[in-house]
């Protein structure tokens, strides 16, 4: 099954020499990581989509309960502890403590707020009569799972045939199960007809009392549909299907790209379908473009030749007066708060805080004094430095009650692959250019 695959080891394979960055990474790749460079599927150029529109849906912010690791991508390290855009909608951000992003959708006419996750592919909402359970499977009051409004109906076009269900385990241990079916889903001004989705009827979930589910924006190879209506979720019964963004493109609603921009001070942001979000202060002449890398997952054959996560290989990192130019694959993931780096690099960066950050095993993260001075940290992408705002590097609301120390934003990612999470995405406009098999990044100034 996919959840167990993601917590396991990735297989080693060759990379495509057409991209020197990928070839160089072969010499420093962590054990068990396999990746290669795909080719784009559409001939148009990025510059064709550099205009913006003002089709914006305003959203509200909300506060999460802890650091966000709801993405499937986060499972990989959990055991270690655009011109002419078509549709825009605001996304929400919280304070540094438990940063999460969400967007409103119309689910067969019912307005729901769904978490945004570029590190998973399934879209689901919780059903009215769902069962809330604890880690041991014991039944709890629904309020314990912390959902917002529940979906009051069944599938608009009925359940899938033959009957299917979804089972997915997220990076922080949360589990969602439920039947699958078809409903119209509207995001911004775009309606995806008869989208295959899940209505969750059993959940182990740490909610924020505002969102009602999750919108997965990754690729079909990471979908978690299984044959039958029971709880079996072995690899032999798994069925790949078209997730929301794939359907949006295949139905001709938008060109094959979307972008995310977060406005830190306004506690809001923009999710732009088919183009670049109209964010302020952008200098598109500094656009970094990197090829998407295909990550091969053991026991999921489709991931050997299909996209799965949005994976790139940065040029390296700079922190304080030091530089690290080792090449590793990183997943760009809106569903994970922290940046997960190779252990030696994470240790070195955390040692550059004044005073030094220390590793607390019970959190699987680094902590320093809440008034510490953070070093200047930047990741280099396509030759361009993307500096992370020092304000984002210490989570002053995430305080250890025993020591009084605060969590830093740089964590150890174990054997990888590693993650550029929300703390990075707060400092760049990120373009997921699926059509050209490229990830593009535009620096955003501090304000």
The Cα 428–Cα 387 span in angstroms is 9
How many CB atoms within 10 Å of residue 208? 20
The Cα 440–Cα 278 span in angstroms is 15
The Cα 138–Cα 120 span in angstroms is 27
Helices (H), 227-278: 244-250
The Cα 199–Cα 84 span in angstroms is 34
Q: Which of 117, 122, 315, 433 is catalytic?
A: 117
| 117 in catalytic set | yes
* DSSP assignments along 272-323, one per residue: EESS----TT--GGG-EEEE-BEEPPTT-GGGGTS--S-EE--SEEEETTEE
The Cα 282–Cα 445 span in angstroms is 8
Nearest in space to 443 (alpha carbons), one of 258, 256, 261: 261
Q: Counting Cβ atoms within 10 Å, is residue 17 exposed (0-12), middle (13-18) or buried (19+)?
A: exposed
Paired tokens of 402: 């025993």
The Cα 277–Cα 271 span in angstroms is 6
Q: At 436, which helix (H) or strand (E)?
A: none
Q: Which of 122, 263, 333, 433 is catalytic?
A: 333
Paired tokens of 333: 């993931």
The Cα 335–Cα 50 span in angstroms is 26
Q: Which residues pair with 261 in a beta bridge?
A: 270
For the chain, state the CA radius of gyration.
20
| 333 in catalytic set | yes
CB 350, CB 357: distance < 8 Å: yes
Q: Which residues pair with 341 in a beta bridge?
A: 412
Catalytic residues: 117, 333
């Amino acid at each position: 099954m996919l959840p167990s695959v993601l917590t396991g080891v990735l297989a080693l394979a060759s990379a495509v020499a057409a991209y020197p960055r990928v070839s160089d990474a072969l010499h420093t790749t962590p054990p068990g990581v396999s990746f290669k460079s795909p080719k784009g599927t559409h001939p148009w150029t990025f510059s064709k989509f550099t205009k913006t529109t003002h089709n914006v849906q305003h959203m509200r912010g909300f506060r999460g309960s802890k650091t966000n690791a709801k993405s499937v991508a986060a499972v990989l390290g959990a055991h270690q502890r655009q011109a002419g855009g078509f549709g825009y909608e605001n996304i929400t951000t919280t304070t540094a403590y438990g940063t999460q992003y969400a967007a409103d959708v119309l689910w067969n006419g019912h307005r729901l707020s769904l978490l945004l996750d570029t590190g998973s592919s399934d879209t689901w909402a919780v059903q009215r009569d769902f069962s809330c359970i604890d880690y041991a499977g014991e039944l709890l009051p629904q309020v314990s799972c912390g959902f917002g409004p529940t979906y009051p109906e069944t599938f608009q076009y009925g359940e899938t045939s033959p009957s299917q269900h979804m089972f997915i385990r997220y990076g922080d241990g949360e589990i969602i199960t439920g039947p699958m079916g078809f409903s119209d889903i509207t995001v911004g001004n775009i309606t995806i007809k008869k989208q295959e989705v899940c209505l969750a009827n059993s959940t182990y979930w740490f909610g924020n009392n505002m969102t009602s589910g999750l919108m997965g924006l990754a690729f079909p190879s990471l979908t978690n549909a299984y044959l039958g209506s029971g709880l079996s979720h072995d690899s032999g019964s798994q069925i790949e299907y078209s997730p929301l963004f794939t359907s949006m493109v295949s139905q001709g609603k938008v060109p094959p790209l979307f972008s995310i921009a977060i406005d830190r001070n306004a506690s809001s942001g923009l999710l732009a379908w088919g183009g670049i979000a109209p964010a302020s202060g952008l200098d598109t002449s500094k656009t970094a473009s990197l090829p998407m890398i295909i990550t091969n997952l053991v026991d999921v054959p489709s991931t050997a030749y299909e996209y799965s996560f949005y994976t790139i290989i940065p040029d390296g990192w700079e922190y304080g007066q030091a530089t690290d130019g080792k090449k590793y694959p990183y997943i760009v993931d809106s569903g994970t708060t922290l940046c997960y780096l190779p252990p030696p690099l994470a240790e070195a960066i955390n040692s550059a805080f004044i005073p030094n950050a220390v590793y607390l095993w019970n959190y699987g993260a680094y902590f320093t004094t809440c008034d510490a001075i953070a070093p200047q940290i930047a990741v280099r992408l396509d030759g361009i430095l993307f500096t992370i705002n020092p304000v984002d590097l210490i989570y002053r609301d995430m305080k250890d009650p025993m020591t009084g120390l605060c969590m830093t934003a740089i964590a150890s990612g174990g054997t990888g692959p590693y993650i550029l999470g929300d703390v990075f995405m707060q400092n760049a406009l990120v373009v997921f250019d699926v059509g050209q098999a490229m990830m593009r990044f535009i620096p955003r100034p501090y304000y």
